[in-house]
Structure 1
Amino acid sequence: MSRTVAFIGLGHMGGPMAANLVRAGHRVLGHDLVESAVGTAAEAGVEPAASAAAAVAGAGLVVTMLPAGHHVLGLYDEILAAARPGTLFVDCSTIDVADARTAHERAATAGMRALDAPVSGGVVGAEAATLTFMAGGGEAEYAEARPLLEAMGKKAVHCGGAGAGQAAKICNNMILGVSMIAVSEAFVLGERLGLSHQALYDVASTASGQCWALSVNCPVPGPVPASPANRDYRPGFAASLMAKDLGLAANALREGGVHAELGLRAAELYAAYAERAGDTEDFSGIVRTIRDANGDRT
């Protein structure tokens, strides 16, 4: 069934996601503070709105995709009063679990409904509509949002109550960050031991070392032609975004009193890497910093 959707945040992720909703037959009212992002989205059929409040006022469901928790909460303070009573707010940003729960509370206080639904899959997944959504909130809210999530991705999982989607996201990305460091260290060790990248890949990709960081986003050029390593680490999932997600995981580990040496160390390594690489390199480029630490150049 066609819906009128307000989409706030039309950047590298939000723009393609909004475009996929248009392709699925929905009317999408879009807003972003960056005019060029609005223009690109408009080319894909998104109707520009003069303000976030104007977009929300004309919609039956609101999707947000913003950089951080304070952006989401600030926006909610601005737009909740403009929405129709009972409107469902679906936040696809990756933010702190506590901020997600606060967003749910503010929506409920304003007479609205909420779902936190962060994504995995990066810009490539956003463009191809192959994202995975991790949703937190009520069963009814998830059921209502699910057709739209499936228009933007290949899989949606209801993870539990408010904040559960964010919890699943940071746990998943902690696994990914630690895995990428391990795979990168293994390739640097293999280089020292005289192994070719292809030989190590051919063994590990079909043995117990197999993982997504190896088989899909391989950190060295050659074995996986589609990996960013073959494009000088032009980002699919930028180093800065991995550093952000691991920072959220590290905060949750500390607040929860969880002893997790690898998760905390991965957060430190990616924070340092992101200071240099920022948005310009894929997170798999951390293999370069591992080589540098060993005095290697490849």
Structure 2
Amino acid sequence: MAAVGWIGLGNMGGYMSANLVAAGHTVRGYDLNPAAVAAAGERGVETVDSIADAVAGADVVFTMLPKGEHSRSVYLGEDGVLAHADTGTLLVDSSTIDVESAQALHDAAAAAGFRFVDAPVSGGISGAEAGTLTFMVGGEPGPVQEAAAFIEPMAGNVIPTGGATTGQAAKICNNLMLFINLAATSEGAVLADRLGLDKQVFWDIASVSSGDSWALRTWYPMPGVVASAASNNDFAPTFTAELANKDINLAIAAARDTGTPLEIGEHVQQLFQRLVDAGHAGKDCSMIVSLVDGSLAEGDGTGAQVSSAGRS
């Protein structure tokens, strides 16, 4: 069994690290959020007080952080991973970040003598808890193969994507499609309801017809239909509107860099921005349905923003 360093014990990282513990690995975890640290400790993670303590003697280090700025700080800071880990340690960043930051981490790690892969995930909190995430792993073939062995207890699928940053590229494009699907699902669900269709009957039809999507099956925005949906719990976050807005903005930035028009994606980003501006950054992203059904209270200031570096 391996010694694992884990940095970022938030909504995703907390469950992911617990699955490594359940597989028999020793996991030392660090996060800035005391509540996340306490929850991870209850799941068997050995919690520590610094990045240096988390990476000391580790065979592999995983990071699961909200944004590129957090990943840069954790890896490149004077008290960061590259400053304290042994060069024999494999480094795996499972954050969803911009391609530029991912390339900077690859370059810095290589210059310092480390093996590094970008390995973002898809599957949400439910997938993190169940150990069924899809990992998209970019980097040199040797480190990618090494990483797959450590990833296995957390994953339903481990897919090599190619060279450096291709894992991030795959994740950005996937999430662009996800959030467009979520917006479309919200519009279809509200229209079906207003046309007099029973919401369960409509979901039963759409889920086996051409309107089907992961968003429909997992995040259906009408309450009382899909057990895993945040719509059943006043949109308590499974994936926040703030993070959805961040992810779709990553796609828009990449599209601009490559001269790719994203007219639908840019419109959906504006919808998430309205949620954030109305004070709902910390609510679930499926609350986008409130822009369709008219229930959004614009500018009401509710829903605290998520700012902890441990949330992901």
Three-state SS of the structure 2 residue aligned to 1:7 is strand
Q: Does 1:142 align with 2:141?
A: no
The residue type paired with residue 210 of structure 2 is S
| 1:38-117 correspondence runs (5 A) | 38-77=37-76, 78-117=80-119
Q: Which residue of 2 aligns with 1:248?
A: 250
Q: Which residue of 2 aligns with 1:12?
A: 11
Q: How far apart are the structure 2 equivalents of 1:177 and 1:217?
A: 11
The residue type paired with residue 158 of structure 1 is P
The residue type paired with residue 198 of structure 1 is Q
Three-state SS of the structure 1 residue aligned to 2:156 is strand
Q: How far apart are the structure 2 equivalents of 1:122 and 1:149?
A: 16
Three-state SS of the structure 2 residue aligned to 1:158 is strand
Contact residue 290 and residue 296 of structure 2 kept, 8 A: no
Contact residue 93 and residue 118 of structure 1 kept, 8 A: yes
Against the structure 1 CA distance between its residues 290 and 257, is the aligned structure 2 distance closer, same or farther, given a 3 Å change threshold?
Answer: same
TM-score scaled to structure 1, two decimals?
A: 0.93
The residue type paired with residue 11 of structure 2 is H
Contact residue 237 and residue 283 of structure 2 kept, 8 A: yes
CA shift for structure 1 position 283: 1.4
| 1:1-298 correspondence runs (5 A) | 2-77=1-76, 78-276=80-278, 278-292=280-294
Three-state SS of the structure 2 residue aligned to 1:162 is coil
CA shift for structure 1 position 59: 0.9
After superposition, the C-alpha distances for 1:180-206 in whole angstroms (9 at most, x for unaligned) are: 111111122223333332332232222
Q: How far apart are the structure 2 equivalents of 1:294 and 1:62?
A: 41
Number of aligned pairs? 294
The residue type paired with residue 153 of structure 1 is A
Q: Percent identity?
A: 47
Contact residue 18 and residue 46 of structure 1 kept, 8 A: yes
Against the structure 1 CA distance between its residues 45 and 204, is the aligned structure 2 distance closer, same or farther, given a 3 Å change threshold?
Answer: closer
Deviates more, 1:138-147 or 1:195-204: 195-204
Q: How far apart are the structure 2 equivalents of 1:50 and 1:258?
A: 44
CA shift for structure 1 position 258: 0.2
The residue type paired with residue 239 of structure 2 is F
TM-score scaled to structure 2, two decimals?
A: 0.89
Q: How far apart are the structure 2 equivalents of 1:280 and 1:70?
A: 19
CA shift for structure 1 position 293: 8.2
After superposition, the C-alpha distances for 1:139-159 in whole angstroms (9 at most, x for unaligned) are: 111111112211112111111
Against the structure 1 CA distance between its residues 39 and 188, is the aligned structure 2 distance closer, same or farther, given a 3 Å change threshold?
Answer: closer
Q: How far apart are the structure 2 equivalents of 1:70 and 1:97?
A: 12
Against the structure 1 CA distance between its residues 50 and 227, is the aligned structure 2 distance closer, same or farther, given a 3 Å change threshold?
Answer: closer
Q: How far apart are the structure 2 equivalents of 1:183 and 1:43?
A: 37
Poorly superposed stretches of 4+, deviation over 4 Å: none
Contact residue 189 and residue 199 of structure 2 kept, 8 A: yes
Q: RMSD across aligned C-alpha pairs, in angstroms? A: 1.9
CA shift for structure 1 position 214: 1.5
Q: How far apart are the structure 2 equivalents of 1:106 and 1:278?
A: 36
Q: How far apart are the structure 2 equivalents of 1:226 and 1:74?
A: 34
- Unaligned segments of structure 1, at least 5 residues: none
Contact residue 115 and residue 162 of structure 1 kept, 8 A: yes
CA shift for structure 1 position 276: 2.9
Deviates more, 1:92-101 or 1:126-135: 126-135
The residue type paired with residue 289 of structure 2 is V
Q: Which has the higher helix share?
A: 1
Deviates more, 1:197-206 or 1:157-166: 197-206
Deviates more, 1:283-292 or 1:91-100: 283-292
Against the structure 1 CA distance between its residues 194 and 138, is the aligned structure 2 distance closer, same or farther, given a 3 Å change threshold?
Answer: same
Contact residue 116 and residue 139 of structure 2 kept, 8 A: yes
Q: How far apart are the structure 2 equivalents of 1:293 and 1:257?
A: 36
Q: How far apart are the structure 2 equivalents of 1:221 and 1:37?
A: 28
Deviates more, 1:135-144 or 1:42-51: 42-51
Against the structure 1 CA distance between its residues 277 and 57, is the aligned structure 2 distance closer, same or farther, given a 3 Å change threshold?
Answer: same
CA shift for structure 1 position 294: 11
Contact residue 56 and residue 62 of structure 1 kept, 8 A: yes
Contact residue 90 and residue 114 of structure 1 kept, 8 A: yes
